[in-house]
Amino acid sequence: MCPSGQKTITADSAPDFYGIDHYGFPRVGEDDPSDPKGYYPPYLRSERFQKYGYHVEELRDGFYWVTSAGYDAAFVVTGEGVVAIDAPPTLGENMLAAIEEVTDQPVTHVVYSHWHADHIGAASVFGPDVEIVAHRITKELLERFPDPKRPVPTRTFENDYVLDVGGVELHLSYKGENHCPGNIFVYAPRQKVLTAVDILSPGSVTFMHCDASQNISGWYEAHSQILEYDFDFFVGGHHMHYGTREQVELCVEYFADVLEGATAAVERFSGSDVLVGILAGAGQDRVFVGTENWISSMANYTTRHVLEKRTSNGQLWWERLAGATTQTKYHAYTVLESIRLERPRPDYRMRGTNPPPFQT
């Protein structure tokens, strides 16, 4: 027990949730019972994948998707060299192995989606002679926080840039901060492949806290910006899946439901009578425990809203996207905070009114 009387859950006291998730839903799926049926692609079980630890697949016309250990990257074979898009450390030299599997051409260009080490932390495998294209902000961040495994970009752009190698085009676009400053969209118009990293992960609800994103309003805006592209394939950087347009739309629908639930939670839990009630039960640490109770109440409300809602085909989210039962509460927390910090406030205190009666 902590001084406020709140029960602290430790590893020893945690209940056994085997066979049922934290919200009382039965776990389902093939390998991991919390994931929907069919989430794990067949290549994961292949002898080849077991042996080499990566998978490479041509999406269309020289555009390849490559994946390993939860991370996705891509490369394009142009006839005058290979353009790599990202180089996650989990792929590392396997990125080179994947390229060598399909072509003898050297890597001449590397595109950085954004500056994060988990997506480009093996870029040095391409050697010192490649042209590295990224947004100006990505270059500034890599100069400010140097990393020899993430060489500084040699070519930058501000809003839009067409990279043409051997007549194969990649349209790079920066639409403002979303997941992080400098995160760009990479569109291959001939192959109709869009790469936008750490926004949506087809097949799943993506990593917790909206993929650890910084600007949640910009990140939500990116969902609409993704759908503005005419793409048949989507590379999102994660979860060892590329996506079809339909799969991307499903992820967008899920996060719209998170925002809907969080907006309703903020409305429901913002009245001073509710706040006073939550604080009154918080014991002597009423300020901090009360705040935690308030945020947790809203996160729980949002999570329940999402997990109980019937989706567009009548199923529940955990039946359609992997990770719904475990990640939704983290997304809820992040989206709730973004509503508080980034979105317009409905009102403000009027002159001469008293603050809520916090008693000391």
Contacts with Zn ion by CB under 5 A lie at: 116, 198
Of 20 and 152, nearer to Zn ion (C-beta) is: 152
What minimum distance in Å lies between the beta carbon of 125 and Zn ion? 19
CB of 179 to Zn ion, least distance (A): 5
- Measured from the CB atom, the residue of 116 and 139 that comes closer to Zn ion is 116
Instruction: Give helix 272-280 / helix 286-308 axis angle, nearest 10°.
Output: 120
Residue 311 CB coordination number (10 Å): 17
What the block records as the tokens of 263 is 């907006």
Nearest distance from C-beta of residue 70 to Zn ion, angstroms: 13
Nearer CB in complex with Zn ion: 192/238? 238
For 276, what's the count of Cα atoms within 13 Å in the CB-facing half-sphere? 8
- Between 109 and 116, whose beta carbon lies closer to Zn ion? 116
- Which residues, 6+ apart, have CB-to-CB distance to 105 below 8 Å? 77, 78, 79, 80, 81, 82
Residue with Cβ nearer Zn ion (116 or 192)? 116
* In the complex, minimum distance from the CB of residue 209 to Zn ion, in angstroms, rounded to a whole number: 12
Listed residue (76, 78, 75, 98) closest to 86, CA to CA: 75
CA dihedral 110→113→116→120, nearest 10 degrees, is -30
Closer by beta carbon to Zn ion, 241 or else 305: 241
Cβ 117 to Zn ion shortest distance, Å? 9
Q: Is the alpha carbon torsion for 233, 234, 239, 240 positive or negative? A: positive
3-state secondary structure of 222: helix
Supply the Cα-derived Rg of the chain in whole angstroms. 23
Write down the least CB distance from residue 134 to Zn ion, Å: 13
Residue nearest to Zn ion (CB): 116
